[in-house]
């Protein structure tokens, strides 16, 4: 049962424009959400996270938005750069209610930033 | 601070063999989780070890096992390898546990022929 879904397997965006990556989840008990970036032949790198008590978190060019009522989160990258070309995974967990839990990952979205 | 290291980086085995992969977490991290990544499947959770105890296990057959040592280093073993076990195996360490930020190693690419 896939509780975290990234319905867009790929996204192409021009350099300098905004990249918007979407993620939906089904488990209303999730209270912590993360985004990871992965280059080929490397492990995923943690990008940004957000707790369910917030609806927005910003870190440089990366902003994550959380809409709890819609069970939806998104990652905005502004401006997009060629080095942002990678696979992006969203993940979720139940930090406060399941102290021995685990991160549930989506299937990933391949982002390609074109010149 | 050194990151998560995994050895070996690449491995080729034949069906029926067994394999052991190793992971050294970030210093001070007591939680080590293992994931399998195959094309189109994202990251599938295998198990988590915390202070030498398995705390959580994913939906994988018993051929997949692991352990953690007192220095937090972890090993993962797959016995009776099948072609479908070909994948990138990722290890991640965390200060607080598997449902917090995890820091991944580069992975071990296992090919089963």
Are B46 and B76 a contacting pair, CB within 8 Å?
Answer: yes
Question: Strand pairing of A56-59 and A19-25?
Answer: unpaired
pLDDT of residue A59 exceeding 90, the answer is yes
A63 touches B at CB < 8 Å = no
Q: Which residues of chain A lie closer than 8 angstroms to B107, CB-CB?
A: 41-43
B88 DSSP β-pair partners: B37, B109
Q: Does A107 touch chain B (CB under 8 A)?
A: yes
| Confidence (pLDDT) at A24 | 97
Chain A CB contacts of B40 under 8 Å are 9, 107
**Mean pLDDT score, B47-74:** 94
Q: Which residue of A has its CA nearest to B87?
A: A41
Q: How confident is the model at residue B44 (pLDDT cuts 50, 70, 90)?
A: very high
A96: left (phi over 0), alpha (psi -120 to 50) or beta: alpha
Tokens of B35: 């994931």
Q: Which residues of A touch B48 (CB under 8 A)?
A: 102
Q: Give which of B108, B112, B111 is closest to B46, Cα–Cα.
A: B108
**% of chain B with per-residue pLDDT over 70:** 98
Instruction: Report yes or no: A109 at the B interface, CB cutoff 8 Å.
Output: no
Q: What pLDDT does residue A63 have?
A: 98
Task: Please spell the DSSP secondary structure of A10-46, one letter per residue.
Answer: EEEEETTS-EEEEEEE--TT--EEEEEEE-TTS--EE
Take residue B33 and report the two structure tokens written for it.
Answer: 């989780």
| Cβ distance of B45 and A102 shorter than 8 Å | yes
Contact B40 A41 (CB under 8 A): no
- Is residue B62 within 8 angstroms of chain A, CB to CB? no
Task: Please report, for residues A11, A43, A107, B48, B59, the alpha-carbon distance to residue A3 in angstroms, rounded to integers and kept in the order given.
Answer: 22, 22, 11, 19, 14
Q: Which of B99, B104, B106 minimises the CB distance to A94?
A: B99
> A51-54, long-range: CB within 8 Å, 24+ apart, which pairs?
A51/A95
Overall size of chain A counted in residues:
115
- Interface size A-B, in CB pairs within 8 Å, comes to 66
Region B18-33 average pLDDT: 96
B1: pLDDT confidence band, cut at 50, 70 and 90? low
Digit-coded pLDDT (tens) for A19-55: 999 999 999 999 999 999 999 888 999 999 999 999 9
Print burial letters for B44-73: b (CB count within 10 Å at least 16), e (below 16). bbbbbbbeeeebbeeebeeebbbebeeebb
pLDDT at B106: 95
Instruction: For chain B, give the mean pLDDT.
Output: 93
Which range, of A21-25, A93-97, B18-22, averages the lowest pLDDT? A93-97
DSSP H or E run through B59: none
Chain-chain contact of B106 with A43 (C-beta, under 8 angstroms): yes
Per-residue model confidence (pLDDT) at position A97: 63
A105 touches chain B (CB under 8 A): yes
Residues from chain A that touch B41, judged by Cβ atoms under 8 A, are: 107
For every residue of B66-94, which 3-state class applies, written as one string?
EEECCCCCEEEEECCCCHHHCEEEEEEEE
């Amino acid at each position: 049962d896939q509780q975290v879904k990234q319905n867009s397997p790929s996204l192409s965006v021009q350099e300098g424009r905004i990249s918007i990556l979407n993620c939906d989840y089904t488990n209303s008990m999730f209270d912590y959400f993360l985004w990871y970036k992965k280059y080929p032949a490397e492990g995923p790198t943690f990008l940004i996270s957000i707790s369910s008590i917030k609806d927005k978190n910003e870190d440089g060019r990366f902003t994550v938005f959380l809409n709890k009522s819609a069970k939806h989160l998104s990652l905005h990258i502004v401006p997009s750069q060629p080095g942002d070309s990678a696979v992006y995974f969203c993940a979720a967990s139940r930090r406060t209610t399941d102290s021995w839990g685990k991160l549930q990952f989506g299937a990933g979205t391949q982002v390609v930033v074109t010149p | 601070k050194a990151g998560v290291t995994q050895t070996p980086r690449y491995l080729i085995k034949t069906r029926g063999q067994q394999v052991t992969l190793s992971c050294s977490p970030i210093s001070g991290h007591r939680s080590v989780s293992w994931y399998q990544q195959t094309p189109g499947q994202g990251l599938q959770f295998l198990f988590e070890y915390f202070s030498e105890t398995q705390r959580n296990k994913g939906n994988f057959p018993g051929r997949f096992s692991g352990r953690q040592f007192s220095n937090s280093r972890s090993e993962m073993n797959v016995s009776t390898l099948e072609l479908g076990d070909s994948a990138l195996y990722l290890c991640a360490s965390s200060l607080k546990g598997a449902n917090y930020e995890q820091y991944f190693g580069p992975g071990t690419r296992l090919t089963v022929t």
